[in-house]
Amino acid sequence: MTKDLVLESIADGVFTVNRSWKITSFNRAAELITGWKRQDAIGKSCSDVFHSSICGENCAIAQSLYSGKPVANRSIFVKNIDGKQIPLSISAAPLLDHEGNVIGGVETFRDLSVVTELRKQLSRRYTFGEILSKSASMQRIFSILPEIAHSESNVLVLGESGTGKELVARAIHTSSRRNKGPFMAVNCGALPETLLESELFGYKAGAFTDAKHDRPGRFASAEKGTLFLDEIGDIPASLQVKLLRVLQEKVYEPLGSNKPVKADVRIIAATNRNLQQLVQEGIFREDLFYRLNVVKILLPPLRERMEDVPMLAEHFIKQFSNQQGKDIVGISDEALGILMRYGFPGNIRELENIIEYSFILCHGGFIRPEHLPEPFAPKSQESPHSGPIPLHKPLPLEEIEKQAIFQSLERNHWRRMNTCRELGISKDTLRRKIERYGLKNPFGEDLGD
């Protein structure tokens, strides 16, 4: 009676399941959090009640049995009786009788809705447009971006590949008075000179052999909006002159035409190259450099803002979960620790690629070290039987217990006393379970200690 009163009075939800995964108890807090009435929940499969993001192969109770240790403070999502997603922090452990037999499992859970909302409010302080950062260097950039956006000055965004230069350009456009107009992007390093000129300025019919119709260029398409010229350091010398004319006189001439066309376009350029050095080498025009370099934004590489890695990883996980329909809720502390020790030469784009790769191997729950690509993923040196068998549907607790005992025996080289100490059971209990499950030592030896 006292135990029941305690369970009913605590704020955390508590439920238990039997060996068949049927709910056997459900406290008052569990009712309040999930919306399920106790009498309706008891007797149902726990997956039918919770619709959890870790049901199946990532079941917390099952994993606690595999490891022989409780699972604590795992963040997941469940659906309440109305289908609304609720963030929870859960802990799970097996239920054993006085002889060490598994009779079920117990799970406690805490509603994190308030915490999640506060976290969202805090995260808004770390965003500008689609750019995410809490680093001091990026926060300084965030503080000046509104003023830059409201001006009409040309902007030069500098930074290594993968630092998010186009995101900055889009954020400036979205916050500017030109946000009703188009945003057009051109990678100046991806096209040969002849194609780049027609891509930027368009052409008239007959300008060259295949030009059967007039075609507007990106300047025309970006009219009253913003034109983003990425990899501006790769633009050929002949086009530098024409681009300079647009910046100075706000006019250009399409290929095959000698009639100037007015351009009401704001220019944002970006490069990962050292333009001042290119000017000194005579590769880039000095007058064009100064026309572009009215406002300069230097984006730091990810290795100089490592405090952003957890936030960015969580952002990409949410993004890919929505795209792929997978119920992956986060990245484990172990996997995140591995990434935090990496230098990210490919910057944010490389982190995004790592998370996308992990989605191939991770089927739900949390991204773990073994889901990361090489060289991050740990090299397994264990026997084929030493790890948990993937569970696409929850196995019976009896089968999980059998596997857990077998794996413990293997880890301890079939020394029974060591196995008993690891599992926290008596030698007689271990003997009965070995006989019950028909477990055999593959080496044929019977090591008692």
pLDDT tens, position by position, 59-80: 887 877 777 678 877 777 788 8
Above 90 in pLDDT, residue 56? no
145-151 long-range contacts, CB within 8 A, separation 24+:
145/171, 145/172, 145/175, 146/175, 148/172, 148/295, 148/297, 149/173, 149/174, 149/175, 149/176, 150/175, 150/176, 150/177, 151/295
Question: The whole model's pTM is what?
Answer: 0.62
Above 90 in pLDDT, residue 95? no
Across the chain, mean pLDDT equals 84
Q: Tell me the residue type at 72.
A: A
Above 80 in pLDDT, residue 334? yes
Above 50 in pLDDT, residue 383? no
8 Å CB contact between 6 and 53? no
Cα dihedral 329, 330, 332, 335 in deg (nearest 10): 130
Mean predicted confidence (pLDDT) in 347-361: 92
8 Å CB contact between 419 and 430? yes
Domains of the chain: 2-115 (3.30.450.20), 136-299 (3.40.50.300), 303-371 (1.10.8.60)
Mean predicted confidence (pLDDT) in 141-163: 94
User: What is the SS3 assignment for 303?
Assistant: helix
pLDDT tens, position by position, 420-431: 887 777 888 888
| Spatial distance between the Cα atoms of 334 and 191, rounded to a whole number of angstroms | 43
Residues 6+ apart with CB under 8 A from 83: none
Burial of 124 (0-12, 13-18, 19+ CB in 10 A): exposed
Mean predicted confidence (pLDDT) in 290-297: 94
| Phi, psi (deg, nearest 5) at residue 283 | -90, -30
Above 50 in pLDDT, residue 91? yes
* Backbone conformation region of residue 254, classed left if phi is above 0, alpha if psi is from -120 to 50, else beta: beta
